[in-house]
Amino acid sequence: MIQRTLREIEKMAGGSGMQPDVGAIGIKGVSIDTRTIQKGNLYVPLKGERFDGHDYAHKAIENGASALLWQKDVPNPPAGIPVIFVEDTYHGLQQLAKSYRDSLSVKVIGVTGSNGKTSTKDILTSLLSMRYKVQKTEGNYNNHIGLPLTLLRLEEDTEIAVLEMGMSNFGEIEFLSRLATPDAAIITNIGESHMMELGSRAGIAQAKLEIITGLREEGIFAYNGDEPLLRERVREIRLPAKVVTFGQDSTNDLYPLSVQLGENGTVFTVNADPSVEFFLPVLGKHNVYNSLACMAVAHFFNVTWEEMKDGLRQLKMTGMRMEVVKSSSGLTVINDAYNASPTSMKAAIALINELRGYEKKIVVLGDMLELGGEEEAFHYEIGEMLDPAHIDYVFTYGNLGTHIARGARTSFAPDKVKMYLDKEELAKDLKCVVTEHDVVLVKASRGMKLEEVIDWIK
């Protein structure tokens, strides 16, 4: 994490007004939250519509802060602790992070996309860790606040940082890209999330492509070549960086030659070196495509195919992403409840369609959020694509989930499709249906907290 003197911090953050006799004092780390602040941290109070971090400055001091950034228009800065004044604490935090990033020799990789950002971040970190010291975005620290904090947590000797870049509107990815100035950038795919703000999938593609605005000329850009919206736009852009495509189609630079799903993972081969068989300890063809994106970037950083093989085998994924859970009875549950969109929902359904060796296959699907005016149609379409030849029962949860059920009832017997607005009631009925020989897929948007159903049936 950042360790600098206050004199250096003042310059890096574009601050002023610090007492002259405290410039040699050092800080270690930055915090915006008094509840998690560590001794020696710089406290940066942020102002929101319903809160003001400046109100908690005394708590930050009590908990060990060594100094504060302070917004100039906020009265009564505390006495007895070094204070650096800035015009705006958000901007001060971001400028400090940018200055720190530019002072390091670290290589930065930016990852964005409608789905699969976190999985791709995890996979890429595992591949690169075979050769480098790597740090990655923790949790969902992927926005205009989280990404600066991630940069400020980088160790001086970190060689590669893998940064997730999220957004909900135009201009946000561009800001993050210019802040982080990545040496490599990945777009996993274009889906339907944030359709309400961006208007269309074309708008989503435009917003995701903002990641190349800060990309260094000698870097690499890897994107999903199966997506026409990306292919068309990339052709129109003159990129000095190396460009690599990945995906299912053989027109891509990297594509799978074979994919085999097992009980605990996926085995696949790649056109770049057919002699190497890779094992990915997570299910789903879409995760193979995420792996291809990572492999393109890892290869650019001189990681060998054999090293990548080891990196994939050692992969530890963030929870609730195609996570295989065994209940005490032996029931297999695929926990993919972290998030959902039509694209990721279709990928999860394709996975369960292909699974073999189970007596019954059951899906528990909840609301997909932030889809705009077409949300009911998107949910109905998911229900329509469910196939009774592959799936035995459909359980839905939530108001929008009822439209999944309506779509499913066009092909399923009525008693095989069940709708719920109460999670506990859903779990109770689900327990009456499943046996130790079955598999259950659980998927919904994060706000639905559908993983609670798993806790009740384990």
- Which CATH number belongs to the domain containing residue 39 in this structure? 3.40.1390.10
Residue 289 sits in the same domain as residue 226: yes
Given 243, 278, 313, the domain boundary residue is 313
| 304, part of any domain | yes
- pLDDT value, residue 198: 66
Q: Are 64 and 42 in contact (CB under 8 A)?
A: no
| 396, part of any domain | yes
Residue 108 sits in the same domain as residue 90: no
pLDDT higher than 80, residue 108:
yes
pLDDT higher than 70, residue 190:
yes
Q: pLDDT tens across 26-47, in order?
A: 999 999 999 999 999 999 999 9
Residues 6 or more apart in contact with residue 287 via CB below 8 angstroms: 116, 119, 123, 266, 280, 322
Residue 292 sits in the same domain as residue 344: no
pLDDT higher than 70, residue 195:
no
pLDDT higher than 80, residue 219:
yes
| 210, part of any domain | yes
Residue 287 sits in the same domain as residue 428: no
Residues 273, 369: Cα–Cα separation, whole Å: 40
Q: pLDDT tens across 263-303, in order?
A: 788 999 999 999 999 999 988 888 999 999 999 999 999 99
Sheet order of strands, 361-366 included: 323-326, 332-336, 439-443, 361-366, 393-397, 417-420
Residues 169, 135: Cα–Cα separation, whole Å: 27
| 327, part of any domain | yes
The domain that holds 120 is classified in CATH as 3.40.1190.10
| Structure confidence at residue 194 as a pLDDT band (50, 70, 90) | low
Pick the range with the lowest mean pLDDT from 81-95, 246-260, 316-330, 389-403. Answer: 316-330
Q: Which residue has the tokens 């650019």?
A: 300
State the average pLDDT over residues 424-441.
95
Residue 153 sits in the same domain as residue 291: yes
pLDDT higher than 90, residue 140:
no
The domain that holds 334 is classified in CATH as 3.90.190.20
80: domain range? Answer: 3-96
| 318, part of any domain | no
| 367, part of any domain | yes
Report the relative pairing of strands 393-397 and 417-420 from DSSP bridges: parallel
Residue 34 sits in the same domain as residue 114: no
Residue 286 sits in the same domain as residue 330: no
Residues 287, 124: Cα–Cα separation, whole Å: 12
Per-chain mean pLDDT for the chain: 93
Q: How many domains does the chain have?
A: 3
| Structure confidence at residue 130 as a pLDDT band (50, 70, 90) | very high
Given 263, 290, 313, the domain boundary residue is 313
- pLDDT value, residue 328: 81
Residues 265, 244: Cα–Cα separation, whole Å: 26
Residue 38 sits in the same domain as residue 135: no
State the average pLDDT over residues 224-229.
94
| Structure confidence at residue 141 as a pLDDT band (50, 70, 90) | confident
pLDDT higher than 70, residue 357:
yes
Residue 333 sits in the same domain as residue 274: no
201 or 418, which is more confident:
418
| 171, part of any domain | yes
Residue 309 sits in the same domain as residue 331: no
Report the relative pairing of strands 393-397 and 278-280 from DSSP bridges: unpaired
pLDDT higher than 70, residue 197:
no
Find residue 184's DSSP bridge partners.
109, 220
| 20, part of any domain | yes
| Structure confidence at residue 327 as a pLDDT band (50, 70, 90) | confident
- pLDDT value, residue 320: 67
Q: 415 phi and psi, to 5 degrees?
A: -75, -5
Report the relative pairing of strands 107-112 and 361-366 from DSSP bridges: unpaired
Residue 130 sits in the same domain as residue 78: no
Strand (E) or helix (H) holding 269: strand 266-270
Residue 360 sits in the same domain as residue 397: yes
Instruction: Look up residue 272 and give its two tokens.
Output: 């770049």
Residues 6 or more apart in contact with residue 208 via CB below 8 angstroms: 112, 113, 114, 167, 173, 187, 190, 230
Given 65, 96, 127, the domain boundary residue is 96
